[in-house]
Amino acid sequence: MAISRRIFLKAMAATGAAATLPQAARLVSAWAAPARHAGRHVQRRWVMVIDLAACDGCKKCTKACQAGHLVPFEQEWIRVIDAANNQYDKYSMPVPCQHCEVAPCVKVCPVGATFHNPEGIVLVGHNRCIGCRFCMAACPYGARSFNWTEPKHTATESFANYSPEYPVPHRKGTVEKCMLCAHRVTMGRLPSCLEICTEEGMKAIWFGDANENLVTNGDEVKKLTQLLGDGRAFQYKDELGTHPRVWYLLPSRRDLAAPKPVAPAEDPSDPYRP
């Protein structure tokens, strides 16, 4: 079939523009389409990695999440807490829902309102949620919030089409939490917390597909195994057997000894010096 010169040049321009896109942007664009391997469909398996060495505790990730999801007042779907590996190694630690593969919240929900979607994200179906809060009691991460009163609705919410992936408008008597923003990938976007972290220059949050072994912080692209393989990686409360989908990188290697306090220099004139 003949192709006009105009169509050909437009296609070439589009190809050239795609070639000049940053690596991270090209990766996110590819994630928006179904994954295929050897001609067959491969399910996405979303994961997040948070580099505690890069986090400065600014809590802008929390604010971006609240703004992006119109989170009800005083709820924090990603909390930033003060933590410490030991007394010499203190840091700020963002804590979203861990999207556990063996999720206690899923097990205890009596009506199946909390569930895993095909990509492994733990979601809440608010059409089914009865507000029993068993899931809140079962969650060892304190990742869930309950709407005790009718949330204050904004004009923006009236244009939203509710789904468990984007639970807007918010509802009284139901439980809410982080959805890992995986729905944003279909729009060519990364999670809200990640975007603001990269814009602010910290680049502490990584997101990606474990099945493809690729993650990005919006600027760089790395293999997930490479990022987790330097001795700093751990999963929060992994001893509980929940198998979280969120990984953390400690500020220093776990196998290094903690720094010791430096003894003051001796004063030769000190009469009490041994």
Tokens of 96: 């979203």
CA distance 64 to 94: 13
245 located within any domain: yes
Amino acid present at 66: Q
Comparing CA positions, the residue from 176, 151, 153, 154 lying closest to residue 166 is 176
The reply to whether 8 falls in a domain is: no
Question: Which CATH number is 98's domain given?
Answer: 3.30.70.20
Which helix (H) or strand (E) segment holds residue 222: the answer is strand 221-223
Asked if 203 contacts 218 with a C-beta cutoff of 8 angstroms, the reply is yes
Structural domain includes residue 117: yes
CA atoms in the 13 A half-sphere facing the CB of 3: 7
> Tokens 């996110």 identify what position?
28
Q: Is residue 242 part of a domain?
A: yes
- The closest of 174, 186, 201 to 46, measured between CA atoms, is 186
Asked whether residue 163 is domain-assigned, the answer is yes
How many domains does the structure of the chain reveal?
Answer: 1
Length of the chain: 274
The pLDDT of residue 267: 47
Pick the closest to residue 127 from 160, 173, 158, 71 (CA basis).
Answer: 173
10 vs 7: CA distance, rounded Å: 5
Helix H or strand E segment including 214: strand 214-216
Domain that holds residue 101: 35-249
Whether 271 is covered by a domain: the verdict is no
Q: What is the pLDDT along the chain (274 residues), one digit of tens a residue?
A: 444 444 434 444 444 444 456 899 999 999 988 777 666 778 999 999 999 999 999 999 999 999 999 999 889 999 999 987 677 778 899 999 999 999 999 999 999 999 999 999 999 999 999 999 999 999 999 999 999 999 988 877 778 889 999 999 999 999 999 999 988 988 889 999 999 999 999 999 999 999 999 999 999 999 999 999 988 999 999 999 999 999 999 887 655 544 444 444 544 444 444 3
The model scores a pTM over 0.85? no
Q: For residue 3, is it within any domain?
A: no
Instruction: Judge whether 258 lies within some domain.
Output: no
Q: Bridge partners of 40?
A: 37
